[in-house]
Amino acid sequence: MQARVKWVEGMTFLGESASGHQMVMDGNSGEKAPSPMEMVLIAAGGCSAIDVVSILQKGRHDVTDCEVKLTSTRRDDAPRIFTAINLHFIVSGRALKESAVARAVALSADKYCSVAIMLGAGGAGVTVTHSFAVMAAGADAIS
């Protein structure tokens, strides 16, 4: 896998993936775009959400929505790495069983989510936790 990052102006940078997708990053605490650390957090949520939805769909569960709310803490001193991340999944579906969602979240956490595993079990020293709520299709999540 390859990518490139090019300086645009000030503390704004343009990242481009090998597949040709571009994203803007901002080193000024997210003035114009997400910061690189915000993008890492978003990547952990995206990777895990993809896993959970895919696992549930492969199990023929009727998933209608999946949202991951991420919370994190970082060191106060440089390098300001994450020290803890929680991924809270809110999964909706028709006749969706809590046990199926629990299994999908556990598989993502322990086996499939490369980003979260790299940050946690991969030796970076981040405590990565997972929680979830199951909602009926069309219901508003309480969080």
Q: What average pLDDT does the structure give for the chain?
A: 92
Q: What angle do CA 6, 11, 12 make, to 5 degrees?
A: 50
Residue bearing tokens 């696992």: 55
Beta bridge partners of 130: 87
Mean per-residue pLDDT for 22-37? Answer: 90
11: phi then psi, degrees, rounded to nearest 5: -115, 30
Q: Who's near 3: CB < 8 A, 6+ residues apart?
A: 15, 16, 17, 18
pLDDT at 13: 95
> What top-level class would CATH report for the domain 36-136?
alpha beta
> pTM to 2 decimals?
0.89
What sign does the CA torsion over 96, 97, 98, 101 have?
negative
**Two tokens, residue 31:** 């003035």
**The domain over range 1-34 is classified in CATH as 3.90.1150.10:** no
Domain range list for the chain: 1-34, 36-136
Tens digits of residue pLDDT in 31-56: 889 999 999 999 999 999 999 999 99
Decide if 91 contacts 82 (C-beta within 8 A): no
Parallel, antiparallel, or unpaired: how do β-strands 62-74 and 22-26 relate? unpaired
